[in-house]
Amino acid sequence: MTCEKHTVVFEEMSVTNPNAARELLTLKEQLRLFAFGEEIASEQDGDETLTTQAGLNKRQRLETLLEGELDFHGEDSSYASHDLHAFAAKFPPQLPRAFIRGLTVPGDVVLDPMMGSGTTVVEAVLEGRHGIGLDIDPLALRLGRVKTMPLDVDRLRIVGNQVLTRVYALLSDGDVIETNLDAHFDDQTRAFVNYWFTPTTQRELMALVLPIQEIEDAALRRFFELTFSSIIVTKSGGVSRARDLAHSRPHLDTTKTPKSALDQFALKLRKNLASIAQLETRQATALTLTGDARCMPLADCSVDLIVTSPPYANAIDYMRAHKFSLVWFGESVAGLSKLRADYIGSERVGAQQYQALPERPETIIQMLAALDPNKAAILRKYYIEMRAVLREIYRVLRHDTAAIVVVGTSTMRSIDVQTHHCLADIAATSGFEVVGVVQRKLDRNKRMMPARFGKKIGSMIEQRMHEEYVLGLFKS
């Protein structure tokens, strides 16, 4: 792919609060000049680690943060808007928060170019930093927008009651629902819907979609759409007939009796209203955009910190789960499938130009090629794509700032492909200083990772699925 350089600057973007953006950009410069150390010490009220960082330069602070505890087991990750919707492989909010607090000041710009459910962007605005999130996934975009937009909860409650009243009226008039079910989908999409949703669930979902689509205020409408989506894309497959939905390949479970979509929606609405009410953006702005991390619509040297987590080679097919919800918003199965090729880590390998990689990834790719040339091509494609991402990350970062890249482990044909070391080597050849590569243990109860069936508990592969690595990269 070719990447044209874009020159969008932060102040010119459509942001949730442009006046605050201008004021805070001035404040940012002042803080940079006068009070960085003091600001960190006073803001974090009693936090020893951060207080002692006051005298350190940014690179030293990055080193210190990497040496600290990054597991965050047992900590609440459901505060503010974090829990509005499930998302595979989302990281704990404490992780971006630690780096945002330690390496930026209010008004700085924090970016996640593969934002997924928007965890970094939410944390940025909660901490008074401007957050930017990019993703190519349409559901991720919907999540990012809603999760960073404070809304009037009383108004949401009124609209929610109107939606539910209309739903019951629609359901008592079967014809409207049936006509809309017929008109809403093309043949292929209708076949998909018929396969995965029972007729009763289809009627209930359509009865919800119709009044939601009629909400005029786009921000409110998106909130309800997301709440609707959150009853479908869940670990268990929600109201669909799928199991293992959001974290692996969905399987049809003919024995499953899906719960009532109306009950689930009402329950989730109550929960989501309470969550969005907690979103306090402290005058910070959030911008979430459709964008490819290999070619970002951002100016050179315009970002103060990146915290991101790319997909893993060969691991999660986001579109496979997300289309369960997106088809209800007018997307077609065929259209969504076309997007797949642009996902980093996707298994689609077209004719690609050969590009040499640093020694370690080359060696691993050669080892894999001896066993499975197709898998080796997938892995080469992944590292080439990630090199494009790391180069873009380097370009948009200001000097004297950091990128935090969180990567999981991948095993292909029983070969540990050492993603963390390979990406560190690629980052080093893209201009970065690799300050540290540290392991963190996943909280088995929390992070939704791809399930790999048939792996014995305690086996080496099983163990490795529960760890990931945090790369600390510095642009001097």
For ligand SAM, the binding residues (CB under 6 A) are 87, 89-91, 113-114, 116-117, 119, 134-137, 140, 292-294, 309-311, 318, 342-344
In whole angstroms, the minimum distance from the beta carbon of 280 to ligand SAM comes to: 20
Measured CA to CA, the distance from residue 237 to residue 243 in angstroms comes to: 5
Which two structure tokens, joined as six digits, stand for 156? 């949401």
**Do the beta carbons of residue 409 and residue 455 sit within 8 Å?**
no
Taking the C-alpha atoms of residue 85 and residue 269, their distance in angstroms, rounded to an integer, is 11
Q: Residue 124 to residues 1, 9, 241, 297, 342: CA-CA distances in angstroms?
A: 31, 18, 37, 19, 27
CA angle 230, 182, 140 (to 5 degrees): 25
Is the separation of the CB atoms in 327 and 185 below 8 Å?
Answer: yes
* Cβ-based nearer residue to ligand SAM, 143 or 357: 143
Which of residues 133 and 160 has its CB atom nearest to ligand SAM in the complex? 133
Identify the H or E element spanning 164: helix 153-172
Tell me the CA end-to-end span of the chain in Å, nearest whole number.
Answer: 28
CB of 466 to ligand SAM, least distance (A): 16
Closest residue to ligand SAM, based on beta-carbon distance: 116
Asked whether the CA dihedral 64, 406, 432, 124 is positive or negative, the reply is negative
- The smaller minimum CB distance to ligand SAM, of residues 268 and 294, is found at 294
> CB 191 → ligand SAM: shortest distance, Å?
25
Residue type, 19: N
User: Least distance from C-beta 388 to ligand SAM, angstroms?
Assistant: 9
Instruction: Report the nearest approach of ligand SAM to the CB of residue 473 (Å).
Output: 16
> Does residue 167 contact residue 296 with C-beta atoms inside 8 Å?
no
Q: Is the Cβ–Cβ distance between 115 and 291 less than 8 Å?
A: no
Cβ proximity to ligand SAM, 193 vs 407, nearer residue: 407
Q: Which is nearer to ligand SAM, 89 or 208 (CB)?
A: 89
CB of 336 to ligand SAM, least distance (A): 12
Q: Which is nearer to ligand SAM, 136 or 390 (CB)?
A: 136
